[in-house]
Chain A
């Protein structure tokens, strides 16, 4: 296949894509309007199930199966990173030297770490009420732990981070999501159908049926996955060195 042929092929595909996009674009609802066919239906469903945050209702109730897929993608990609970034045979671990951090920075890290952990948990717990949810809160919690690396050194972080526990937590959280879905099947409805729990009072922590449970599972999964992922990156950047003279 020569250069000219390839160019023609790209142009053909691009033109087809452009035509499809244009056709789809012409039928879209106008930007910024107050009516939207999907939006109206989603809000109605969310209100019916007493979920104040419509986004959480869409993610963890109407399209909970999609979210299961996304969760598994994150799980699989972290697994891939763990396999790729493992310590190879021609590498060895060098102990990092302790870092010399200015006292105000160290105090700030120690002070903000628990506050950030609390905020992450707050965001996870209020996913069905206010903006946020499992993903956002999980990332905040996991980032908070790494303040220990920034405010002290890698050795300090390793002391509060039993990596095996986080790997197990990651797997456990994904299974918890699936188990919640299977519970609905056992109760006689569809997989992940939100009919198991009472919907509760609108705009309180116990509203939304299974939405808070799925949120908590995703929060734990994301937090553990980010910790494991960052651990592999930190290992590579800080500890693992290639053997010289091979």
Chain B
């Protein structure tokens, strides 16, 4: 039981991390000046985007 959730959780975490890295990189490209608050807001926005990406992918493929 525990092994199964682990094997399901790992790809999910990897997918989220991949999207988060990509989107955070995009945010860095969009902004003009870099400061800590900017980075924090960017990290939050990238997290929202990553969750949306995973939800969308699951809605299309798992049916």
Contact = CB atoms under 8 A, between A and B. Distances in A.
Contact of A114 (B19, B38, B63): B19
A117 B59 contact: no
A115 B23 contact: yes
B35 A152 contact: no
Contact of B52 (A114, A126, A203, A205): A114
**Contact size class for A?**
20 to 34
Nearest to A98: B63
Interface residues of B, number: 26
B12 interface: no
A117 B48 contact: yes
Interface string B11-43: 000000001000100110011110101100100
Interface string A197-217: 000000111100000000000
B48 A152 contact: no
B55 interface: yes
B14 to A, nearest CB: 16
A148 B33 contact: no
Contact of B49 (A114, A157, A206): A114
Nearest to B53: A114
Contacts of A148: 56, 59-60
B23 A160 contact: no
A108 interface: no
A6 interface: no
Given A110-B53, A113-B53, A117-B49, A204 B35 contact: yes
Nearest to A123: B30
Contacts of B35: 204-205
A114 B23 contact: yes
Interface of A: 106, 109-110, 113-115, 117-119, 121-122, 125-126, 129-130, 144-145, 147-148, 151-152, 155-157, 159-160, 203-206
12 contacts: A113-B53, A114-B53, A117-B48, A118-B23, A125-B41, A145-B52, A157-B59, A160-B55, A160-B56, A204-B33, A204-B38, A205-B37
Across the A-B interface, give the 5 residue pairs with the lowest CB-CB distance, nearest first.
A114-B53, A121-B45, A114-B49, A159-B59, A156-B59
